[in-house]
Structures are given as C-alpha cells and as structure tokens.
Chain A
Amino acid sequence: MTHRARIVRRICLLALVALPTGAWGVLHQPALDEPPLDEIGLAAKGPVRFAPLDVYIDAGDDRLGAWQVELAPKPEFAGRVSIVGIAGGDMPFAEAPYYDERAIQDERVIIADFETDGLALHTGKSRVAQVQLRIESLDDPTFDITLHTAARHDGAAIDAAVEAILRDPARSTDDNESTDQTTTSENDG
C-alpha cells in the first residue's frame, strides 16, 4: 500500500468516526425548552433586576436595642431571588448588621444587630437593615420574615413587628413598593 493510499484510508476512517459523532451530538443536544413553570411551581421568569429590600422593626413605645430577623423568599420564588449584599439601615443601626457570608448569593439570611448606647435608640418604627437582591422574576417576590428576637434598651425582650419593603427603582413611584409583614412577632422572650 502506497503512502498516498494510507493517507486516504486514514481520512476515510476519520470520517467514519467523526460523522456519526457529529450527527449524534446534533440529534441529542439538550432540550432548550424549559418545563412549564406551573409544573414546577415557580413564578414567571423575567429579566434580571436588582432591588433593595428595606427591613423595618416597629418597637412601639420601647426603644429598640437589639433585633434579629430571618428572611427568605416564599417558595414560589425559590431560585428566582438571591442576596447580593447587606447594608445597614438608619441610625442607630446604620452599620451593616451581623450576617453569615454564606447567605450571599443564596436566598436565606439571618441578620441581627444591637446598640448599647441607650440614648441613641429610637421608639416606633425603624429601618434597621437593607438587603440587596437579585431578582429574576416578572413579579415582585414576597418573603417569609421571622422576627427571632427584639430587645429594648435594657435588654428586656419586647414584642415588635417586622416589615420588609421591596423598593424597585425601575417601577413607578405609586407602584414601587411591595410589603411583607409579620402581623405576629416571633420572639424568644
């Protein structure tokens, strides 16, 4: 067999292997169609947007000294919301609260903070933190919010209400807030 014939034979063998391989890859490519959203219980997927979620605690007549809140999107928004940052709220909780860094890029977080300077504490409703979210949903996500504990200036546990408001700068002023609120505070005290 001449050199030329050997080369030709090798090319033919390569073709025998490569053509079926390519055809198999094209025919068996992964399905690009997602399963129907209602089948997997998810909200409609939308373009990615970023929005802050303000967390408020209403301590009533007490001065709020410490608080701890757990936050997670409701199941229908699972996989559509992720936390990208956590910042403080208003004084005296303007500094970023305690949180676990593993919550970043995830969707559940426990945030908490305290202030020992009793003179700086406020009564009533305070914005204690802001959670920055990455949202991939046409609808505004809703959240399960749990107030683990709240304490007044002297450390005594108090009943308080927690509320989270999503502020979407892309929406109109009249329609840029969606509120999640716990009507009954969970408290360890």
Chain B
Amino acid sequence: MTTTNHQPEHHNGDHHDGEPTLPASLVTLLRDHAGADIPLRSGESGVESRVDDAVMSLARERLGAIEPPRTLRFPMFARVVGGLSVAAAAIGLVVWFGPGAGSNTAPVNAPRGTLGQDEELAFAESARSDAVDTDAMMGVPMLADAAPEPDSQFARSAVAGRTASSKATSAPNIVTIRDAYLVALAIENDAPLDDAWDANSDGAVDDADVEALAIAAVALGDRLGFAPVPWYTPTLGALWPLAHTHTDRSVTR
C-alpha cells in the first residue's frame, strides 16, 4: 500500500510518481465503508469497478439519509371544495361591496350625509361665519333703502341720506349686492365714506369692503347639506385648516 496520508492530496486521479492516488480523506471513507482490503492502486484486477462500487454505495447511503423536500399533495375533492369556497366568497364580497351597492337603499331625495340636522346646521353656520366676518358686518349700516338724488351727485346724496336715516331696519341682517354697489358708487364718486362701512375691519373703506359686502350677499350659509360630507367627520381635525382656507376663498367672481 503506497498511498499515505502524508502525501499531498490530489484530485481527479492525478498521478504521482506514475501511480494514481486518491485524496486521503476519500481513502479513509472508502476503507471504512468497503473494508481495508480494497485495492486503491491501478494495475490490479477489478480496481476501477470496485472503487466505483464503493463510491456509489457510499453515495447511496449518504443521499438516502437526506429527506426529500415534502411536496403538498391534496385530494382532488379538497382542491375543488377550496376553490369553490374562495370563488363563492369573492363573488359574495363583490356583490355586497361592489360598485353601486347600497346606492339605492335609501330614497334619492334623502338628506345628504349621515349626521343629524343639528350638526349640519351647526356646520352651516360655522361655514357662513368663516366666509364673511359677520361680527365686523354687524356694524355696517344696511344701505338698501336709500332714495338717492337723480343727479350727478347721487352717490354723495344717497350715502348721506342713508347714513342719516334708519330705513335699513327693514332688513337689518341681510346684506345684498346693492349695499356693495352703493359703497362702490360712493368710493368711485369720492363721496364721504363712513367708517362703519369698513366691512373687513382693516381700518379703511375701500374696494376690499365692496368685495366683502358682495361676498356676504351671495354666501350660502343658511342652507343645510351644501358642504361636503367629509368636513363633518370629527376625525378630520387635521384637515380643518384646509377646509377653513377653502371657505375663505369660497366666493368667486
């Protein structure tokens, strides 16, 4: 036996000194498996086949110890039942939650939203107060019932007459476009301007006050259900500034 452990290992049947050698570890394994008499040198009868047999036997033994990956195999009835169940559940969910579901469960003319009328009214009043500074508007005399002079000084006369009169009491809380119109005429005709017409409380009576009066005239603050429903939801507190901004810009010309 010439194969020794102190020799460098060679793979793939490399020759050393004209003789084939095997790795020492493989020789040890083969001898443990097939017996110490296994010839591991070429030139002897049946060496190649016996070495092959030993290697194959060892491989079978080792590979047989490895558990093959488990494959899931189900009976056909289980597959069919499972598939039908999932399909049925999917159809049911689509029918229940799908487009149009529930759209006709209530009369078409039912009130919008899900909150009570009081809550909608509260929001409507809030939106109205956001759109126009009604506190500032309270001090503005209503100008609607004046009888201006039909001459070139009509604006001055009209404004003076309204300021002196109390005819505005006929509609004390309703601003109309005519109020904005009369203030605009007064401004354009250099008529005396009453500080009480400072509708936006900026310290001056100017076109901005005309705009404020016009906005107040067309504001939809006294109607239920006009605002988008999401604004009502208490969980949208973070979005309230956005809603507030929208309300401030809600009147357009």
Residues of A within 8 A of B (CB): 3-4, 7-8, 11-12, 14-15, 17-19, 21-26, 28-35, 40-42, 65-68, 78-79, 95-103, 106, 108-114, 116, 148-149, 151, 154-157, 188-189
Q: Which residues of A contact B249 (CB under 8 A)?
A: 101
B159: shortest Cβ distance to chain A, in Å? 9
A28 touches B96 (CB 8 A): yes
In B52-69, the 8 Å CB interface with A consists of none
A3's closest neighbor in chain B, by CB?
A: B70
Say which residue of A21, A28, A68, A96 sits within 8 Å of B89 (CB atoms): A21
The distance in angstroms between the C-alpha atoms of A156 and B104, with both chains bound, is 51
List 4 extra interface pairs beyond A97-B253, A110-B220, A155-B185, CB under 8 A. A33-B104, A42-B109, A149-B144, A155-B154
Given contacts A33-B104, A106-B226, contact A112 B109 (CB under 8 A): no
Instruction: Give the nearest-CB partner of A100 in chain B.
Output: B220
CA distance A40 to B78 in the complex (A): 51
Given contacts A12-B78, A98-B251, contact A116 B185 (CB under 8 A): yes
Contact A157 B108 (CB under 8 A): no
Given the known inter-chain contacts A15-B82, A22-B88, please indicate yes or no for A155 contacting B146, CB distance below 8 A.
Answer: yes
Cβ–Cβ < 8 Å partners of B252 in chain A: 96, 98-101
- Nearest-CB residue, chain A, relative to B92: A25
Sorted nearest first, the 10 A-B pairs with minimum C-beta distance are A25-B92, A22-B88, A22-B92, A112-B177, A18-B85, A66-B181, A18-B89, A154-B154, A15-B85, A114-B181
Cβ distance B86 to chain A, nearest Cβ, rounded Å: 6
Q: Is the CB of B178 within 8 A of A151?
A: yes
A100 in contact with B251 given A19-B85, A42-B108, A155-B148 (CB within 8 Å): yes
Interface string of B143-162 (1 = CB under 8 A from A): 01111111000110010000
Known: A34-B108, A98-B252. A108 touches B177 (CB 8 A): no
Distance to closest chain A CB from B253 (angstroms) = 5
When each residue 80-105 of chain B gets 1 if its CB lies under 8 Å from chain A and 0 otherwise, what string results? Answer: 01101111111111011000111111
Q: In the complex, what distance in Å separates the CA atom of A28 from the CA atom of B184?
A: 62
Contacts of B170 in A (CB 8 A): 188
Given the interface pairs A68-B217, A155-B146, the reply to whether A25 lies near B181 with Cβ below 8 Å is no
Residue B47 at the A interface, CB < 8 A?
Answer: no
Residues of B within 8 A of A42 (CB): 108-109
Within 8 A of A (CB), among B125-153: 127, 131, 144-150
Chain B residues with Cβ under 8 A from A17's Cβ? 85, 89
CB distance from B140 to the nearest CB of A (A): 15
